[in-house]
């Protein structure tokens, strides 16, 4: 149906297109397709019982407050709880440094809104989180992409990229989406040092950092920046840090947070006011009610156990069934791993065939801001149960073998 609005839309020249991949991925929701495409948590370990109890308590004790408008920065006790939680990881901040957003996706959008002028360059790893590209394409950003390897962004290639004058740098240091790789400490130090030398601030996106299956927790870039700047023990401010309740509690709440200076928080608040006023008061109070007694730390252990198991199964099955020439990452945490097929493969074409075989993934091309990655794919191991995981990898290996 053609309306006046369609003409109006045509006048707006935005890089915001629905992708053909997204259309294909709709098929992955058919009940008999085993999908490694999404980034969904395992729903069977959502703490529905705790939610039920929290909802009852919140509605009985503060129902009027929970259903009413709240502040744009977010529910203060929740922000205080997040500040305490951050302190555990060495991020020394108070509630004044925290703003609640509707998922980290909104933090990316608001950052775009207040910082990006059309044509501004953003320095990022390639491949990188697709949602960041979607958020910033709407502000007509350009990308300076630095390649990554098994240790994440290649810092030896960073300097020439920093010299292009990027507005900021965007990195996911832990169990990156899409590759699953983690940046080791020496690279983190070098990265923070270089960013500081060239005066380029950093967005550190850390949705998965708490989901570590093995090895030692590595200090966040924000923590290293605090140390490097001689600001030991307090937040320096050149790294804006993002994390979320989507992976450690439940994505259906749409609750995440930004760590920034109070000044930047205020600017984000002004932008959020015009964008959607605030995150759900009810969900914020319920989340605080669930988390305030220390439940989250205990729940994270449970999630880690389940996802470690699923990662192990996926790695075993890949080892068993994949033909020679296929490689994959071995993530120490998170939700994803990354598969590289022999040169010449096109995983966008392969997806069509895979869907016929009732298995799905995301073609790696989508995660590359400036093209490339045609022979790669992202696999999610958190969502499917062990049996499905095994069967799905068998189907995928078969699809690849038949198309070698």
- Pick out residues in 229-268 that bind a second copy (CB under 8 A): 236-238, 240, 246, 250-254, 260-264, 266-267
| Binds a second copy by CB under 8 A, chosen from 24, 25, 34, 70 | 70
Length of the chain: 404
Contacts (CB under 8 A) with a second copy, residues 112-171: 113-117, 131, 134-135, 137-138, 167-168
Task: At 126, give phi and psi (nearest 5°).
Answer: -125, 120
**Is 227 near a second copy (CB under 8 A)?**
no
| Binds a second copy by CB under 8 A, chosen from 87, 160, 164, 273 | 273
Q: Which is nearer to a second copy, 51 or 143 (CB)?
A: 51
Q: Which is nearer to a second copy, 20 or 346 (CB)?
A: 20
Q: Which is nearer to a second copy, 345 or 367 (CB)?
A: 367
Number of helical (H) and strand (E) elements in the chain, helices listed first: 14, 14
CA distance 89 to 77: 19
**Is 1 near a second copy (CB under 8 A)?**
yes
**Burial level of 293, CB count in 10 A (0-12/13-18/19+)?**
exposed
| Binds a second copy by CB under 8 A, chosen from 31, 32, 199, 371 | 199
- H-run or E-run covering 391: helix 386-402
At CA 118, angle to CA 115 and CA 123, rounded to 5?
Answer: 65
Q: Which is nearer to a second copy, 167 or 358 (CB)?
A: 167
Q: Which is nearer to a second copy, 295 or 321 (CB)?
A: 295
**Is 271 near a second copy (CB under 8 A)?**
yes
The alpha-helical segments, DSSP class H, found in 322-359 are 347-356
* From 49-57, 79-87, 179-187, 357-365, span contacting a second copy (CB under 8 A): 49-57
* From 44-52, 85-93, 306-314, 396-404, span contacting a second copy (CB under 8 A): 44-52
Nearest CA-CA partner of 96 in 297, 234, 282: 234
CA distance 257 to 265: 11
**Is 51 near a second copy (CB under 8 A)?**
yes
Q: What is the DSSP string of 10-48?
A: HTS--S----HHHHHHGGGGSTT-EE--S----GGGS-H
**Is 30 near a second copy (CB under 8 A)?**
no
Q: Which residues have C-beta within 8 Å of that of residue 90, sequence separation ≥ 6?
A: 219, 220, 223
- H-run or E-run covering 276: helix 262-276
Least distance CB 113 / a second copy (angstroms): 6
Check: CB of residue 326 under 8 Å from CB of residue 344. Answer: no
**Is 11 near a second copy (CB under 8 A)?**
yes
Q: Which is nearer to a second copy, 65 or 398 (CB)?
A: 65
Residues in contact with a second copy, shown as a per-residue x/- string from 78 to 117 under the rule CB under 8 A: -----------------------xxx-xx--x---xxxxx
The alpha-helical segments, DSSP class H, found in 13-156 are 20-25, 48-67, 76-88, 103-115, 130-137
| Binds a second copy by CB under 8 A, chosen from 270, 292, 327, 357 | 270
Judged by CB under 8 A, how many residues of this single chain contact a second copy? 88
Q: Which is nearer to a second copy, 15 or 403 (CB)?
A: 15
Least distance CB 223 / a second copy (angstroms): 16
Q: Which is nearer to a second copy, 90 or 201 (CB)?
A: 201
Least distance CB 213 / a second copy (angstroms): 22
Least distance CB 325 / a second copy (angstroms): 34
Q: Which is nearer to a second copy, 23 or 214 (CB)?
A: 23
Check: CB of residue 260 under 8 Å from CB of residue 269. Answer: no
Least distance CB 265 / a second copy (angstroms): 11
CA distance 173 to 240: 13
Q: Which is nearer to a second copy, 230 or 344 (CB)?
A: 230
At CA 362, angle to CA 359 and CA 366, rounded to 5?
Answer: 160
| Binds a second copy by CB under 8 A, chosen from 283, 347, 366, 380 | 283
Q: Which is nearer to a second copy, 200 or 389 (CB)?
A: 200
**Burial level of 30, CB count in 10 A (0-12/13-18/19+)?**
exposed
**Is 52 near a second copy (CB under 8 A)?**
yes
Determine if the peptide bond prior to 384 is cis (ω within 30°): no
Task: At 89, give phi and psi (nearest 5°).
Answer: -100, 15
- The structure tokens 């009610």 sit at 289
């Amino acid at each position: 149906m053609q309306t006046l609005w369609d003409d109006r839309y045509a006048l707006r020249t935005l890089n915001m297109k629905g992708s053909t991949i997204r259309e294909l991925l709709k098929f992955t929701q058919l009940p008999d397709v085993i999908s490694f495409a999404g980034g969904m948590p395992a729903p069977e370990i959502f703490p529905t019982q705790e939610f039920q109890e929290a909802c009852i308590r919140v509605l009985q004790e503060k129902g009027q407050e929970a259903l009413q408008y709240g502040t744009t920065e977010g529910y203060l006790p929740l922000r205080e709880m997040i500040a305490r939680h951050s302190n555990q990881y060495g991020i020394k901040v108070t509630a004044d440094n925290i703003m609640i957003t509707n998922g980290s996706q909104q933090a990316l959008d608001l950052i775009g809104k207040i910082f990006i002028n059309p044509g501004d360059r953003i320095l990022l790893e390639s491949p990188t989180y697709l949602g960041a590209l979607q958020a910033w394409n709407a502000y007509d950003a350009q990308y300076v992409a630095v390649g990554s390897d098994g240790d994440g962004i290649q810092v030896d290639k960073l300097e020439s990229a920093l010299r292009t004058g990027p507005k900021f740098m965007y990195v996911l240091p832990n169990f990156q989406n899409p590759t699953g790789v983690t940046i080791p400490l020496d690279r983190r130090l070098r990265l923070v040092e270089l960013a500081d030398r060239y005066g380029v601030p950093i967005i550190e996106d850390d949705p998965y950092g708490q989901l570590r299956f093995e090895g030692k927790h590595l200090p966040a870039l924000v923590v290293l920046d605090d140390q490097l700047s001689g600001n030991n023990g307090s937040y320096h401010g050149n790294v804006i840090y993002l994390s979320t309740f989507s992976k450690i509690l439940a994505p259906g709440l749409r609750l995440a947070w930004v760590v920034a200076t109070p000044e930047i928080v205020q600017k984000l608040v002004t932008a959020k006011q015009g964008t959607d006023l605030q995150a759900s008061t009810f969900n914020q109070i319920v989340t605080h009610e669930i988390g305030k007694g220390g439940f989250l730390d205990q729940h994270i252990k449970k999630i880690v156990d389940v996802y470690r198991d699923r990662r192990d199964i996926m790695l075993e099955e890949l080892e068993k069934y994949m033909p020679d020439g296929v490689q994959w990452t071995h993530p120490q945490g998170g939700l994803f791993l990354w598969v590289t097929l022999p040169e010449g493969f096109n995983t966008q074409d392969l997806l069509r065939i895979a869907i016929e075989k009732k298995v799905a993934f995301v073609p790696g091309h989508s995660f590359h801001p400036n093209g490339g990655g045609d022979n790669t794919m992202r696999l999610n191991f958190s969502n499917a149960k062990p049996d499905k995981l095994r069967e799905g990898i068998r189907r995928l290996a078969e699809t690849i073998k038949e198309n070698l």
